[in-house]
Amino acid sequence: MARPLLVNAAELLRRPGTERVISVPIGAVDLGLSDSRFTADEVIDVQLRLESLTDGIVVAGTISVPWHGQCRRCLRDLAEVAISEVDELYQTQVTNTEAFEIVDNQLDLLPMVREFALLDAPLAPLCQPDCAGLCPICGIDFNHKQCSCVPAPVESQWAVLDQLKAQLDGN
Ligand SMILES: [Zn+2]
Ligand SMILES: [Zn+2]
């Protein structure tokens, strides 16, 4: 299988300050993303700029990850794109604990891109931050309608107080 995210780092490492742009569409399947958030034919857009330092290569840019899911409150189907902001370091001799390793002068961006996709495509999404959800009894979508089957403990408390007030007023 072709490895579109494998970059030869030799040239970059030879001359610190060298830049290289990586702009690749890559299939979810090629990234090994197979859970229900990702469909096989979907394309993940990788836009990265590589810049060499004296002790490594900085990889910065964005990864656009299309994902599918269902709102966890109203169960509406969702299809959106998560944008991951990337700012990572690759080193031949790893001195930074958060750096990825450059092996045999090859920079393998695939594990990093995969990690971002898995992290930024939500597992339990919401259609909107204040989604009102569904009525647990009749299943009506509170984002669009109201129903009368909701038990209302708050109202019954008021009813008790009203009764009490009526009694007091009566005296
Ligand atoms: Zn919702
Ligand atoms: Zn209802």
Residue 157's pLDDT is what? 63
- Average of pLDDT values for 68-88? 96
Counted residue by residue, the chain has a size of 171
The domain spans of the chain are: 6-120, 132-171
Nearest ligand, CA 70: 1
How far does residue 127's CA lie from ligand 1's centre (Å)?
A: 4
**Is 80 exceeded by the pLDDT of residue 74?**
yes
Share above pLDDT 70 across residues of the chain, in percent, rounded to a whole number:
91
- Residues 83-96: tens digit of each pLDDT: 999 999 999 999 99
Residues 85 and 48: their CA atoms lie apart, in Å, by 10
How far does residue 139's CA lie from ligand 2's centre (Å)?
A: 6
Residue 166's pLDDT is what? 80
pTM confidence score: 0.78
Nearest ligand, CA 138: 2
Residues with CB under 5 A from ligand 2 (ion): 135, 137-138, 140, 147, 149
Residue 1's pLDDT is what? 46
How far does residue 130's CA lie from ligand 1's centre (Å)?
A: 8
Are 47 and 25 in contact by the 8 Å Cβ rule? The answer is: no
